Amino acid sequence: MDVYGLIGNPVEHSLSPPLHEAGYEALGIDARYVTFEPDADAAAAAVAGAADLGVAGLNVTVPFKRDVLDAVDAAPLAARIGAVNTVDFGPMRAGETDRPRGHNTDAAGVKRAFAHHDVALDGKEAVVVGAGGAGRAAAFALADAGTSVRVANRTAERAVSLAEAVPGASGGGLDDLGERVAGADVLVNATSVGMEAPEETPVPAEHLHGDLAVLDAVYAPIETRLLREAAAAGATTVDGAWMLLFQGVEAFEIWTGREAPVDAMNAALRAELE
């Protein structure tokens, strides 16, 4: 039996165990997915210990996504983002490398969530609202897909500093958000606005329009006010569960080398969320 897991703090309410275990079950893979909460300074040591114990793969979540960089060989996009959410021990177990491989499937999750909804990204213009971890992954993912990115954030300096690291991106505050969204093809909410607060929205409805594709990283509730108002404006909407699903799907495929059973994993995730 292969053991996969998640390290983070807290991880008690993580949706990753049911998401991945639905995938193992659908493909008849003998594996389990478990959660671990290492001490604040122990993430890198936990990754090394997991390798010694024969763990097959680890997801990494808040607050450890940067901490584990030192314990892995990071794939190019993960290295550029400066955050790892998926550790693959496969190449190390096969004797091909001395260290586990680190990936950032949050970025892949953004790209694949749009692709699943037939939203083209190459040559498009995007506004990413938010400059925390989710905004960082989204900005790098979109730039990597050929999109020109504007990062807009309540604290303007955070957006400017993120944009400096992302090829072709610019950053600023929320003052001109309306004009920026009016001229954009893609909008990502990477703030926590709307989380457990159905009456809140990061972008007033008057700025939304029918040529937009809108991804809301918030998945609780699944249908946020932003997505409801975007749909009413005629926009294509992509809810946060798709982003969560596809970061897991990407990790599943890296670890198992098999095409993930997306429908089964999606059904399991949505059953947990609804």
- Known binding residues for NADP(+) are 130-134, 153-158, 217, 240
Among residues 65, 101, 103, 111, the one annotated as catalytic is: 65
C-beta of residue 244 within 8 angstroms of C-beta of residue 13: no
- Min dist CB 153 to ligand ATR, Å, is 5
- Min dist CB 155 to ligand ATR, Å, is 3
Q: Determine the residue type at 91.
A: P
Residues within the interface to ligand ATR (CB under 6 A) = 130-135, 153-155, 158, 190-193
Using CA atoms, how far apart are residues 239 and 225, in angstroms rounded to an integer? 11
Q: Quick one: 101 or 180, whose CB is closer to ligand ATR?
A: 180
- Min dist CB 139 to ligand ATR, Å, is 11
Q: Quick one: 175 or 211, whose CB is closer to ligand ATR?
A: 175
The phi, psi pair for 96, rounded to 5°, reads -85, -25
Using CA atoms, how far apart are residues 23 and 260, in angstroms rounded to an integer? 7
Q: Quick one: 148 or 161, whose CB is closer to ligand ATR?
A: 161
Q: Is 65 among the residues known to form the active site?
A: yes
Using CA atoms, how far apart are residues 17 and 122, in angstroms rounded to an integer? 33
Closest-approach residue to ligand ATR (CB): 132
Using CA atoms, how far apart are residues 112 and 246, in angstroms rounded to an integer? 6
Using CA atoms, how far apart are residues 21 and 11, in angstroms rounded to an integer? 16
Residues assigned a catalytic role = 65
